[in-house]
Amino acid sequence: MPTIRLTMAQALTRWMAAQSIRQFDGTAKPAFAGVWAIFGHGNVAGLGEALHAVKDQMPTFRGHNEQTMAHSAIAYAKQKSRRQMMAVTSSIGPGATNMVTAAALAHVNRLPVLFLPGDVFADRRPDPVLQQVESFADGTVSANDCFKPVCRYFDRITRPEQILKALPKAMSVLTDGAECGPVCLSLCQDVQAEAFDYPEQFFTPRIWEIQRPRADEQIMATAIEAIASARRPVILAGGGVKYSGAQARLKAFAEAGGIPVCATQAGKSVLAEDEPLYLGAVGVTGASAANKMIAQADLVLAIGTRLQDFTTGSNTLITSRLISLNIQTHDAIKGSALSLTGDADKGLEELGAGLKDYQTDPAYQAEIAEARAEWAQIVADVTDDMTKSQLPSDSQVIGAVNRAAPKHAIAVGAAGSMPGELHKLWQTGDVDGYHMEYGFSCMGYEVAAGLGVYMACPERPAIVFAGDGSYLMHNSELATAVMMGASFTLVITDNRGFGCINRLQAATGGAAFNNLFADSHHEILPEIDYVAHAASMGAHAVLATSLSELETSISDSIARGGVNVVVINTDPGPSTAAGGCWWDVGIPAVSEREEMASIHENYISQRNRQIDNFS
């Protein structure tokens, strides 16, 4: 068998560049659209040299923080519906452990990313090396073992020939609809530079097919029978609908049966907001229309959702029969559901064929229309431009940005105040126009995600929402975005602290403490000039002093292109009262503060509802 002599790192990068993934339209695109890298000892000599050799086929991008460059990679894969991905590499030690949070984010959200951290010497000759974590109990442990609980597949490459087995295994996970998630190949730094005679056949280009398993025939028949007898069914759509490319199939199925659709954070924008059967967001951050109809449903068909507590109101919202169509059995069985384990698109195809004569009653469809109209009026009221206090609320900011944004814009966000308000209020004009990381609710994802979304969809304007807390936590990839010639608009809502958790603290009976700057230990209250800070990194930055200025600034930013930042001061207090449902947050059973007693009593009452729902 012909062979070629390469270092392990050269073989790794050559193999990665030869992999492709079949797209929804039948074409094939490179599996790895690029590699994010911050070099240091442990990856600069071996992997760095190898990446340079393939830079024309598989480009390398330089980040400013290991965690956030990984967030950019994850956002790219999310916006690409897991049909393309990126790899991320770092040095050993702190560079590697900085990526562990990003790995957890990808794990929770079922998103593919290949982590390639440098590791210690396999031969241990210079042991212990700089930045090495030494275990007194286990000589095989390194800092990279931290990746094990937050990756779907982990391997430590201690000999150059091991990648012949490890790489196909890694790729099988990255392209598996059910098992998809982060993979970590821990690369011992000496082994990266060692040579081996690799079979030339190993580098033959390959197209990976993301398989579409079908649900069991008998269980599908049972599901069809159950839906056919339902009078008030509701569809609950999750991110799996997007990853299956099932948006059009979902729309056709819902329209054929007159069945309303509501969406999780990951599922929002599977349908445009103006679709007549779309009820909006569901759950703790949901619309009143969706929550009302799902609470009164006699059957809920959950598609591609892991049924997180924000979706289910901590298991109090869905009280009817539940059917779950999900490619992952672990998710499909939740809530004692009838489990249709299979691909969303194929499952909807079979359900549609079995229910071709099914149609909900006109009276039920009239209820759907009425609930939609009531919610639309609420959205209009809370997002209008009449400032009811000295500073605008987050909902008013969202309304202003929404009015100025083109229909095909993509709203991007993560943790803090904005996910709840955006889930309820953002009016998505086109399919796949909402990109929210709320599985791990990771502050600091936002700026990096804006870059990843731009790289995935440069033809659609991205509008990134971040509070001042998230911006202060991770903003360095703003400089990366400028350097790369990216284009997106970042809206920074400055409420002078952690406004979202401050509201939760108040709602759970806590005293104002350690969230807003004013309620934290301080000698001097910070006055941070976010406009100047963003401008110092090369962004075009402005301060909007009113909602009308905000609208103008958003329009100007999108027309201008490039990296734009618009800062607006907001009121940390108000949030949208309408919509939503209960969320289980533990309330102290004993407190010196008298007001806590009634709050705890109400908490126990809600917990009893939760227990009843399980029985």
pLDDT, tens digit, 9 for 90 and up, residues 99-136? 999 999 999 999 999 999 999 999 999 999 999 999 99
Give the distance, in angstroms, between the CA of residue 608 and the centroid of all CA atoms in the same chain.
Answer: 32
| Residue 601 or 35, more confident | 35
3-state secondary structure of 531: helix
Question: Other CB atoms closer than 10 Å to residue 363's CB: what's the count?
Answer: 8
Angle at the Cα of 293 (from 292 to 294), degrees rounded to 5?
A: 95
pLDDT bracket for residue 592 (50, 70, 90): confident
**CA 181 vs CA 77, 468, 576, 581: distances in Å:** 11, 30, 34, 30
The highest-level CATH class for domain 383-569 is alpha beta
Q: Where are the alpha helices (DSSP H) in 35-99?
A: 46-53, 66-79, 94-97
User: CA 247, CA 389: separation in Å to the nearest integer?
Assistant: 40
pLDDT bracket for residue 38 (50, 70, 90): very high
- What is the fold, at CATH topology level, of the domain defined by 217-374? Rossmann fold (3.40.50)
User: CA 472, CA 464: separation in Å to the nearest integer?
Assistant: 15
- The secondary structure of 461-508, three-state, reads CEEEEEEHHHHHHCCCHHHHHHHCCCCEEEEEEECCECHHHHHHHHHC
Angle at the Cα of 313 (from 311 to 314), degrees rounded to 5?
A: 105
- What mean pLDDT is predicted for residues 185-199? 98
pLDDT in tens, 499-530: 888 888 888 888 889 988 888 999 999 999 99
Sign of the Cα torsion 293, 297, 300, 306 reads positive
pLDDT in tens, 314-357: 999 999 999 999 999 999 999 999 999 999 999 999 999 999 99
Angle at the Cα of 144 (from 172 to 75), degrees rounded to 5?
A: 55
User: CA 35, CA 13: separation in Å to the nearest integer?
Assistant: 10
Give the distance, in angstroms, between the CA of residue 365 and the centroid of all CA atoms in the same chain.
Answer: 32
3-state secondary structure of 574: coil
Range 3-208 classified under CATH 3.90.1330.10: no
Q: 555 with 471: CB under 8 angstroms?
A: no
Q: What pTM, to 2 d.p., does this model score? A: 0.97
